[in-house]
């Protein structure tokens, strides 16, 4: 799909707008490079998925007096890696959050958010915690730590990375992260739950709207009464995974019902290779825990079986949304779309060229978190390009593999100069002997 209002330069201007509000953190004689150049240079590395991009551009500037960091990303003077780390370390990553807001507003204007809203007016936002730095030697005051039985300690950073998802839509749209801090708790559940509550109280409020209901999706860690209550108090609905191993009272309660008292529907599903049976069950109004003040929730389950009755997979959730025969299939699909945050977001960032877990620089204050936020923005820029940039889509489709596309981009920008990102895409289209579809 094309969009007259879209251009890579427009998205980059959103980043420039945010940078213009940054404090000048330079001290003493450290004024050779501008903060904006440090931000844009670091962003270019993530966008191009090339840790060596800046060194290649410095070499090009030495050869021909111009370079792609300047023409594509607007860098005036490429800082050294050390200067980039020193300039970015004092800057809070929250100062980058307005870029996500501007992109969300742009997507709303262009009708993309409306397309992501479900037929029953729900906007699904999946939450999940992920590590993005770990080391047994490097640490900072913001690091979390995990002691191992062998006496060693792993220091790490982690964050919740919310994304907008929808069943049947391949892309997952990144929202501002919530960083899990060292004082959030001693267990994974404590840490992630506290960070999730902070996100609901602050950043998440930006996405509430009279046009739709925001439904938060989360794993079993979220299906605890304090988190569920917090979700509702701040205006969200929820669909959270609910495992029998951690919700024994709820499942004991369900076991008291006869099969007829649990609503059920079954249909045959063709996978492309074989038929399977999908059995949906649900019950409105069950207690989440064994206390007098238990929150009453609605439970649903999908069991996938081979035609001989062998169970292959089972999914179960709790929600505050009313379940009916008419909506149960959709509700289960919404719950299952939570896994898109792992398959199409976090795992992509870790294994498909963004190198989320690579230590690009740790610092003593905010550097690790700031660089991680820039990496999320680079991923979001590419996601938006998938929606609007005809040239980008054509080249990606023609080359097939994501890795091939970025390897070609890295090689071309190492040896040749391009006036802009569009100029580079046009050159690739011409090299592939394709018809230019326009921007």
Domains of the chain listed by start with CATH number: 8-93+360-431 (no CATH), 111-349 (3.90.350.10)
What is residue 350's predicted lDDT score, i.e. its pLDDT? Answer: 52
Instruction: Yes or no: say if 288 and 228 are a contact pair by the CB < 8 Å rule.
Output: yes
Instruction: Yes or no: say if 33 and 83 are a contact pair by the CB < 8 Å rule.
Output: yes
Look-up of token digits 């299906």: 223
pTM: predicted TM-score of the whole model, two decimal places: 0.91
Look-up of token digits 């008291």: 256
> Cα–Cα–Cα angle for 195, 196, 200, nearest 5°?
120
What is residue 187's predicted lDDT score, i.e. its pLDDT? Answer: 65
What is the rounded CA–CA span in Å between residue 408 and residue 49?
11
> Cα–Cα–Cα angle for 393, 428, 396, nearest 5°?
25
CA distances to 60, 116, 352, 398 from 414, rounded to whole Å, are 8, 38, 20, 22
Instruction: Yes or no: say if 6 and 384 are a contact pair by the CB < 8 Å rule.
Output: yes
Each residue's pLDDT, cut to its tens digit, for the chain (439 residues) gives 444 589 999 999 999 999 999 988 877 666 789 999 999 999 999 999 999 999 999 999 999 999 999 999 999 999 999 999 999 999 999 999 999 999 999 999 999 999 999 999 999 999 998 877 777 777 777 777 788 878 788 887 889 999 999 999 988 899 999 998 877 666 666 688 999 999 999 999 999 999 999 999 999 999 999 999 999 999 999 999 999 999 999 999 999 998 888 999 998 988 888 889 999 999 999 999 999 999 999 999 999 999 888 899 999 999 999 999 999 999 999 999 988 665 555 555 555 554 555 566 777 889 989 999 999 999 999 999 999 999 999 999 999 888 899 999 999 999 999 999 999 999 999 999 999 998 7
What is the rounded CA–CA span in Å between residue 384 and residue 382?
5
What is the rounded CA–CA span in Å between residue 403 and residue 178?
29
Q: Say what the alpha-carbon torsion angle 41, 43, 48, 50 is, to the nearest 10 degrees.
A: 70
């Amino acid at each position: 799909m094309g969009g007259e209002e879209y251009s890579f330069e427009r998205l980059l201007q959103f980043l420039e707008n945010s940078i213009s509000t940054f404090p000048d953190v330079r001290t003493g004689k450290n004024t050779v490079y501008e903060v904006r150049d440090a931000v844009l240079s670091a962003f270019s590395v993530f966008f191009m998925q090339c840790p060596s991009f800046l060194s290649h551009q410095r070499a090009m500037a030495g050869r021909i007096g111009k370079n792609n960091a300047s023409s594509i990303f607007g860098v005036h003077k490429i800082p050294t890696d050390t200067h980039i780390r020193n300039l970015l370390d004092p800057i809070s990553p929250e100062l980058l959050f307005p870029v996500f807001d501007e992109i969300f507003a742009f997507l709303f204007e262009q009708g993309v958010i409306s397309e992501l809203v479900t037929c029953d007016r729900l906007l699904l936002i999946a939450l999940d915690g992920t590590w993005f730095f770990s080391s047994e030697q490097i640490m900072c005051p913001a690091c979390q730590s995990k002691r191992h039985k062998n006496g060693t300690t792993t220091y790490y950073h982690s964050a919740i990375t919310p994304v907008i998802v929808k069943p049947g839509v391949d892309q997952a749209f990144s929202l501002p992260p919530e960083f899990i801090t060292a004082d959030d708790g001693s267990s994974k559940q404590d840490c992630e739950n506290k960070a999730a509550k902070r996100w609901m109280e602050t950043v998440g409020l930006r996405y509430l709207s009279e046009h739709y209901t925001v439904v938060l999706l989360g794993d079993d860690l979220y299906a605890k009464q304090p988190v569920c209550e917090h979700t509702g108090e701040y205006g969200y609905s929820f669909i959270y995974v609910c495992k029998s191993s951690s919700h024994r009272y709820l499942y004991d309660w369900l076991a008291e019902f006869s099969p007829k008292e649990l609503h059920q529907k079954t249909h045959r599903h063709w996978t492309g290779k074989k038929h399977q049976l999908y059995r949906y069950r649900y019950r409105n109004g069950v207690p989440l825990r064994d206390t007098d003040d238990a929150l009453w929730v609605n439970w649903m389950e999908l069991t996938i079986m081979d035609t001989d009755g062998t169970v292959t997979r089972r999914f179960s959730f709790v929600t505050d949304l009313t379940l009916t025969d008419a909506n149960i299939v959709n509700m289960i699909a919404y719950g299952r779309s939570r896994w898109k945050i792992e398959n199409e977001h976090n795992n992509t960032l870790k294994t498909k060229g963004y190198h989320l877990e690579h230590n690009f620089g740790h610092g003593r204050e905010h550097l690790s978190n700031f660089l991680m936020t820039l990496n999320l923005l680079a991923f979001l820029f590419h996601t938006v390009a998938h929606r609007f940039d005809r040239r980008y889509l054509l080249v990606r489709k023609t080359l097939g593999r994501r890795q091939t596309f970025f390897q070609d981009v890295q090689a071309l920008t190492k040896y040749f100069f391009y006036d802009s990102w569009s100029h580079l895409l046009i050159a690739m289209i011409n090299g592939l002997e394709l018809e230019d579809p326009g921007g």
